[in-house]
Amino acid sequence: MEDADHRFSVGAPLIFIVVVAFQYLSMYVDNIKKKKGTTNAADALLRAEIKQLYKEANTFSQPSTFAQAAKLRRMAAAKEKELAKNQELRSKEISSSYDSKVKILKMLKIFVYVALGLWFWRSPVAAVSEQFVQPFGWFLSWRSSWRSSGGYVMIGIIPWLVVSTRVAKFACQTIFKY
């Protein structure tokens, strides 16, 4: 009866859901950084002005209009420098806000993983058929007080977190393609 209770424990699925949630949040934060890195309206306007200035400068192809063409090219170069400066400032701003979000997420993730580790340290998280994990049963039951009993290997919290993290990363990358 005790084996059946451990096999149908809700601990393993809940831990997996928590791991998937953290994986999704980290992908979401990465996606926000990528989206914020795209151009805004001011940059698009500057690019259009630069393009127009170069277009006008190319229309002045006569030797008598060389000075006007040079002036337009200098104006376009100044606008290109302004555009580069704007992009650098926005990149630094995005990077600093992104870094703070990532730090908060990592600290929360560490806290939750440590709490789960302490909670399930000596008790098994799940039970898996011994034939299913034949060569690695001893590793998966690491830090779990119950070893192979009744044909089932009791999975410890550390191996479960490692496996759950890898599976969640793969699942989030395939399901939530950004």
* Domain regions of the chain by residue span: 2-175
> Rounded distance, CA 7 to CA 10, Å?
9
pLDDT in tens, 107-148: 999 999 999 888 888 777 877 777 776 776 656 666 554 455
Alpha helices in the chain (DSSP H): 2-7, 11-36, 41-59, 66-119, 137-140, 157-175
Per-residue pLDDT in tens (0 to 9) along the chain, 178 residues: 344 444 457 788 889 999 999 999 888 888 777 766 556 777 888 888 888 888 888 887 777 778 888 888 898 889 899 888 888 888 777 777 778 888 898 999 999 999 988 888 877 787 777 777 677 665 666 655 445 567 777 778 888 888 899 999 998 888 877 5
> Rounded distance, CA 70 to CA 134, Å?
77
Q: What is the pTM of this model?
A: 0.61
| pLDDT score recorded for residue 145 | 47
What's phi and psi for 64, nearest 5 deg?
-75, -20
| pLDDT score recorded for residue 108 | 93
Distances (CA, A) of 104 to 26, 47, 100, 154: 11, 36, 6, 33
| pLDDT score recorded for residue 174 | 86
| pLDDT score recorded for residue 144 | 52
Cβ-Cβ contacts under 8 Å for 99 (sequence gap 6 or more): none
